[in-house]
Amino acid sequence: MWNSGGMKQGQELSFDDEGRPVLITRAAPAYEEQHRQRVRKYLTLMSFRIPALILAAAAYGIWHNGLISLAILVVSIPLPWMAVLIANDRPPRRAEEPRRYQNARRIPLFPTAERPAIGSAPQPGEDEH
């Protein structure tokens, strides 16, 4: 479907009310922008760590019940691990991204008669070159 400006209007491009394109590329966000988003997620998750420790101390002071404080502490233990995993995660690979690893020859885990092991002794009747 073509609009009056002669541009194709579809899912590829977004247009504002005047018909001007808003999105002009499908390029991935810049590395710096992705890094800032990951740091923001990391800091957000880690910002719950100290308040959880304070909350555990306050809960013990209020209710004098170690189980409630212990439960709060147990919930806060995996926060640093989760924050690091989320911060180090990259966006999913797009289908058009090239694959870097090219394994031309795979060595089988269990060699068979058709595929002898590397460095194996020659079988009787084979040439010894």
Contact by Cβ (8 Å): 53, 73 = yes
**64-118: per-residue pLDDT in tens?**
999 999 999 999 999 999 999 988 887 777 777 777 766 666 676 776 666 556 6
Residue 54 pLDDT: 95
Element (H, E) at 44: helix 31-46
